[in-house]
Every structure is written in C-alpha cells, then in structure tokens.
Structure 1
Amino acid sequence: MPESPGVSVEVLTTPGCHLCAEALRVTGEVCAEFGITYQEINIEHDDALRAQFAEEIPVLRINGKVRDFWKIDPVRLRRLLAEAGPKG
C-alpha cells in the first residue's frame, strides 16, 4: 500500500497499561501496512492530557482528532487511515 504522507497517528498511553500495550501492537502493525510511523505519547507527566483522557486510555488520535479509545480495532483503523490519506 502506498505511503500516506502527512497523516499523524498518536497513541496516548500510561505505563503498565495492558490495553495500551495491545493498542500499540495493533497500531504498529496497521501503520506499517500504510507506511506510516506513529507516536506514543505517555500522558503520565502531562497534566492537561491526563485530566482530559485518564479514563479513556489508550486513546488513538489521527491528525489530532480522537478516533478511538480503550480497544483499537484493526479493521476500523485501516479504514480511518485510508480515509485520512491523500484524496485521489
């Protein structure tokens, strides 16, 4: 699949979170299919992010918009990344 430049993928996490580990695994696999790198953001030391997302971790953001939380569905993530990529 072609690379999707300009697509920003972030996974907000906290240490020791088993759901976060699974979300990172799924996100890594799916992003690799699209040639996209993702960024893990630990909210532990960010008061604003912790206040906003503490009850929803892990959180998936694509291009700055929250697209999923708790469990990342690989089928949904593929669709979201395809939609976020350049329009033909």
Structure 2
Amino acid sequence: MTIRRSDARTAGKKSDRVVTLIGKPDCHLCDDARIVVEKVCSELGVSWEQRDITRDEDLHRAYWEQVPVVLVHGVQHTFWRVDEDSLRARLTNRRP
C-alpha cells in the first residue's frame, strides 16, 4: 500500500526528489518519523509517500529490523530516528 502525500504547494510541481517513509502500524517511531517527514517535505515542496512493511513482503524482508526507514529518491537516508536538519540538508543538497 502506498500513500502519496502532497499539498497545495506541491500540486502541479514536478519534484526531482521523492521521500519514502517505510514503516508499520502501531509503531511510535514510525509516527515520530511521519511528523518529521511531513513537516520537512511540506516546507520544501517535496513529495513523499508512505509504505507499510506489513503489506509488502519484499519491504518486510529488507527493512523489518530498521523501521522506520527513510529513502530519498530510492536511496536509504536513515532509519529508526529521523533528524529534521539532516533530512532538510539532504533534500537541499547540503549534506551534513
């Protein structure tokens, strides 16, 4: 299951970066990560999606010990805890 998120600032814009949050239901770290991802992506006008490892066997196999996992344009950025400044820097090409 994929949930795509965007707002009025990203509607109609083509973003060259997509953030993917991989998590699972009833995961407090996933809830915390979602708040950070949603905030940073909204501020920067970057689209993001959420994927559920309980609904995708390949994702479950790859990431079950690391959720939540954040991918930036398909490349793993972080797992467990999402640092707002680090994600912002990655999305603006200012790697910390």
Displacement over 2 Å in runs of 4+: none
TM-score, normalised with respect to structure 2: 0.80
Identity %: 30
- RMSD value, Cα: 1.6
Distance across 2 between alignment mates of 1:46 and 1:27 = 21
Superposed displacement of residue 50, structure 1: 0.3
Task: Select the structure with the greater relative contact order (CA < 8 A; seq sep ≥ 6).
Answer: 1
Contact 2:15/2:47, CA 8 A, preserved across alignment: no
CA distance, structure 1, for counterparts of residue 14 and residue 69 of structure 2 = 21
Aligned partner (choices 68, 76, 80) of residue 66 of structure 1: 76
| Bigger proportion of residues as strand | 2
Name the structure 2 match of 1:21.
31
Q: How much does 1:37 deviate?
A: 2.0
CA distance in 1, matches of 2:71, 2:93: 14
Match of 2:88 among 62, 78, 82: 78
Matched residue type, 2:74: G
CA distance in 2 between partners of 1:62 and 1:52 (Å): 16
TM-score, normalization: structure 1?
A: 0.87
Aligned residues: 82
- Say which of 37, 51, 63 aligns to 2:47: 37
Tell me the residue number matched to 1:48.
Answer: 58
